[in-house]
Amino acid sequence: MYVAVKGGERAIDNAHAWLAEERRGDPAVPELTIAQIRGQMTLAVNRVMAEGSLYDPDLAALAIKQARGDLIEAIFLIRAYRTTLPRLAGSNPVDTGAMTVDRRISATFKDLPGGQVLGSTFDYTHRLLDFALMAEGSEVPSGASAPATPGPMPHVTSFLNRDGLIETAPPSDTTPPDLTREPLELPADRSLRLQAITRGDEGFILSMAYSTQRGYGRTHAFVGELRIGTVAVEVDIPELGFAVEIGEVELTECETVNQFKGSRTEPPQFTRGYGLVFGQSERKSIAMSLVDRSLRWKELGEDFTGAPAQDEEFVLYHCDNIQATGFLEHIKLPHYVDFQAELELVRRLRAEAQAMQEAAE
Amino acid sequence: MTDQAYNFAYLDEQTKRMIRRAILKGIAVPGYQVPFASREMPMPYGWGTGGVQVTAACLVPEDLLKVIDQGADDTTNAVSIRKFFQRTAGVATTEATAEATVIQTRHRIPEVPLTEGQILVYQVPIPEPLRFLEPRETETRKMHELEEYGLMHVKLYEDIARHGEIATSYAYPVKVEGRYVMDPSPIPKFDNPKLGQSPAIQLFGAGREQRIYALPPYSDVVSLDFDDHPFQASKAPHDCDLCGAKDSYLDEVITDDAGGRMFVCSDTDFCAGRRAEGHVGRLGEPV
């Protein structure tokens, strides 16, 4: 005799308890600390902050620990926490020209004011597993260092700008729309697109950028400049009448210089793509600037070739991994009712088709 | 126990006000999809974040809340959402449809007719009835603006040409007050007739897609069809094996590996109520 499935509540509680146990792993092995994750899984922490849209390395590390290293799950935890936070003030725009850089490279000029600063990068490492890391406790020799050059560090694009070789990007003081406070409505302006892309899934943005390099809407990008470092965050305090520095954030900024032969409306000149991401996130910021440039086809009078990366609606509606993973995974929730309706339909259609076939014979 | 770290019903008052504005607009323009700034919720998109936000915006401390998924109060996600509001709003909950003041549902309308003063909140995955005919939001919004629903009728006609009937069994599109074509969420088309002339307020929340829409009480709701192929609500041609009901929507349960099946009411409250009244189905036992 069938007994209706009861006990969903107990099953959930038990599942949660088991999950907590699995997260902890073997109790004989020391537990990970937040400081360890924050200090030694920095790039994961950076990604969680960037896509979670919340600059807080400790909370990002906590989220990674709680999510058992599943970064999308960690990003989700951060987003869900972020949405409950009161908005106390809006900062002034950060000045990346005044950034204290740890790394700053240009692929377009061999040398330039401010110099090439290689910084800590995987770029020229050989990807050989370092088995020495399996043995714990080995001391890492500290690298040679020089004091960071405090800003200002001029932007490469400003050199090109002097000759009118690159499009001007006129500064604007209009308050940008806020993706997290207003529903996304299309067409979106560039600042809204950049907001969506900077919190978009790194893998998705990477693939979109890659597709433009392979010919699905060409971007012809040079990395004019990639810089990583810290900038001050300043907030206007109305009672004081001036801005006060409330902290600093690490940012990665990428400016691409894109070949452009001119269009019906614009003269031949270089054009720009822009990427700005929390933390050290080079891949993401370069990808972001390619996708940004690709989405600007309309404003530059280029043709729409039907490439996915040119399609604002396609990119903006599908770049958010929290939305995507939620909708994707929800299909494992019960769908008995709809499936039952489909069963009835298919049975009826089959019976009718069979009857017609028999009648024909 | 209410979780003191969060505001009543989780969302802050500003956010609830924003959602209430969207709900009011939705009620003022029945069937129109109102964009709203959906928030990230502590459950994933696809788990009912739209419905949860609408419920959070509607709840008052005196409310009696019922949550169902697939018609049942004890499915895991219904349990999870009910617990969420018990924890963050401290509201009383019930399984009895007739007692509840707010009912959040996924995929079903309760069998017991709703009454004035009740609010039925639907969880909606894809609010746009035209989405699978036209993937672009910019296009579908224009189609609604211009009341350009020809494409939908062509699709229904093609179904008839190919299958002899309209081959949509759930999320069956309706026209509201003679104006907007609306997706009733993935309820089986068996439930469609309950949408119209309902004394209750019906609210639809789509979190990921950032849309809210509504049916005010006693709205005109017509399932799309043709004069010579009228709409037909359908269900499994059986009675409930537990309570014997002939007119309720049934779930099919596989009981063995030799083709054994039983059919039971998907609405657990309705079925339990009938059994308590002494109705016994083919495989049921007197309570």
The mean pLDDT of A70-96, rounded to a whole number, is 92
Q: What is the mean pLDDT of chain A?
A: 89
Closest CA to A70 of A88, A93, A51: A51
Instruction: Convert the pLDDT of each residue in A104-116 to its tens digit.
Output: 999 888 888 888 8
Tokens representing residue B170 in the block: 């759930």
Is A254 within a domain?
yes
- Cβ contact B78–A8 (<8 Å): yes
Cβ-Cβ contacts under 8 Å, A335 against chain B: 70, 107, 186
Is A319 within a domain?
yes
Give the span between the Cα atoms of A263 and A303, in whole angstroms.
9
Of A82, A110, A143, which closes a domain? A82
- Which pLDDT score, from 0 to 100, does residue B1 have? 44
Question: Is the pLDDT confidence value at A3 over 50?
Answer: no
Is A173 within a domain?
no
Question: Is the pLDDT confidence value at A84 over 90?
Answer: no
Give the confidence band of A1 by pLDDT, cuts at 50, 70, 90: very low
Residue keyed to tokens 């469609």:
B192
Question: Is A85 in a helix, a strand, or coil?
Answer: coil
Question: Is the pLDDT confidence value at A133 over 90?
Answer: no
Torsion angle in degrees (nearest 10) through CA of A240, A246, A250, A253: -20
- Cβ contact A341–B69 (<8 Å): no
Question: Is the pLDDT confidence value at A60 over 70?
Answer: yes
Which residues are CB-contacts of B274 (< 8 A; sequence separation ≥ 6)?
B240, B243, B244, B245, B265
Quick one: B230 exposed, middle or buried, by C-beta within 10 A (0-12, 13-18, 19+)? exposed
B243 is catalytic: yes
| Residue B6 DSSP code | S
- Which pLDDT score, from 0 to 100, does residue A9 have? 78
Cβ(A2)–Cβ(B255) below 8 Å: yes
Question: Is A248 in a helix, a strand, or coil?
Answer: strand
Nearest to A336 among B70, B187, B235 (CB): B70
A39 and A114 in a single domain? The answer is: no
Determine which one of B240, B260, B278, B281 is catalytic.
Answer: B240
Between B48 and B284, the more confident residue is B48
Nearest to A327 among B45, B80, B186 (CB): B45
Closest CA to A310 of A199, A239, A215: A215
A55 and A113 in a single domain? The answer is: no
Tokens representing residue A218 in the block: 């060409």
The complex scores an ipTM of 0.80
In this structure, what are the phi and psi dihedrals at residue B116, rounded to the nearest 5 degrees? Answer: -60, 140
- Which pLDDT score, from 0 to 100, does residue A86 have? 84
A107 and A13 in a single domain? The answer is: no
A72 and A107 in a single domain? The answer is: no
Cβ(B137)–Cβ(B126) below 8 Å: no
Closest-CA distance, B163 to chain A, in angstroms, reads: 7
Render B36-91 in DSSP notation, one character per residue: --PPP-SS-TTSSHHHHHHHHHH--TT-EEEEEETTBSSSHHHHHHHHHHHHHT--
Give the confidence band of A148 by pLDDT, cuts at 50, 70, 90: low
Around Cβ A298, how many Cβ atoms within 10 Å? 12
Tokens representing residue B194 in the block: 């309950």
Is A361 within a domain?
no
Question: Could you tell me which residues are beta bridge partners of residue B221?
Answer: B176
B240 is catalytic: yes
A209 and A161 in a single domain? The answer is: yes
Is A159 within a domain?
yes
A189 and A64 in a single domain? The answer is: no
| B78 vs A: CB within 8 A | yes
B31 is catalytic: yes
Give the confidence band of B144 by pLDDT, cuts at 50, 70, 90: very high
Which residues are CB-contacts of B107 (< 8 A; sequence separation ≥ 6)?
A335, A337, A338, B69, B70, B71, B170, B185, B186, B187, B188
Between A338 and B199, the more confident residue is B199
Tokens representing residue B139 in the block: 């296009």
Type of residue numbered B193: P
Determine which one of B31, B71, B205, B207 is catalytic.
Answer: B31
B265 is catalytic: yes
A213 and A305 in a single domain? The answer is: yes
Cβ-Cβ contacts under 8 Å, A341 against chain B: 169-170, 188-190, 234
Residue A350 to residues A109, A344, B230: CA-CA distances in angstroms? 69, 10, 21
Return the residue in A336, A339, A346 with the most chain B beta carbons within 10 A, the one to mutate for interface testing. A336
Between A259 and A299, the more confident residue is A299
Answer whether the bond into residue A152 is a cis peptide, omega within 30°: yes
Of A59, A82, A105, which closes a domain? A82
- Which pLDDT score, from 0 to 100, does residue A88 have? 85
- Cβ contact A327–B208 (<8 Å): yes
A64 and A204 in a single domain? The answer is: no
Cβ(B214)–Cβ(B202) below 8 Å: yes
- Which pLDDT score, from 0 to 100, does residue A2 have? 39
The mean pLDDT of B46-65, rounded to a whole number, is 96
Give the span between the Cα atoms of B257 and B249, in whole angstroms.
24
Instruction: Convert the pLDDT of each residue in B147-190 to its tens digit.
Output: 999 999 999 999 899 888 898 999 999 999 999 999 999 999 99
The mean pLDDT of A79-92, rounded to a whole number, is 89
Is A289 within a domain?
yes
- Which pLDDT score, from 0 to 100, does residue A71 have? 97
A116 and A256 in a single domain? The answer is: yes
The mean pLDDT of B234-261, rounded to a whole number, is 90
Between A64 and A332, the more confident residue is A64
Answer whether the bond into residue B61 is a cis peptide, omega within 30°: no
Which residues are CB-contacts of B286 (< 8 A; sequence separation ≥ 6)?
B278, B280
Output the pTM of the full model. Answer: 0.87
A212 and A274 in a single domain? The answer is: yes
A208 and A281 in a single domain? The answer is: yes
Provide the pairing of β-strand B64-69 with B92-93: parallel
Closest CA to B86 of B161, B139, B8, B156: B8
- Domain count for chain A: 2
- Which pLDDT score, from 0 to 100, does residue A149 have? 65
Of A82, A110, A131, which closes a domain? A82
Provide the pairing of β-strand B64-69 with B34-35: unpaired
Closest-CA distance, B218 to chain A, in angstroms, reads: 26
Give the confidence band of B3 by pLDDT, cuts at 50, 70, 90: low
Cβ(A234)–Cβ(A240) below 8 Å: no
Closest-CA distance, A84 to chain B, in angstroms, reads: 7
Q: What is the mean pLDDT of chain B?
A: 93
Type of residue numbered B115: T
Residue keyed to tokens 């209410």:
B2
| B2 vs A: CB within 8 A | no
| B270 vs A: CB within 8 A | no
- Cβ contact A182–B108 (<8 Å): no
Range of the domain at A30: 9-82
In this structure, what are the phi and psi dihedrals at residue A273, rounded to the nearest 5 degrees? Answer: -125, 150
Provide the pairing of β-strand B211-215 with A242-258: unpaired
Is A276 within a domain?
yes
A34 and A111 in a single domain? The answer is: no
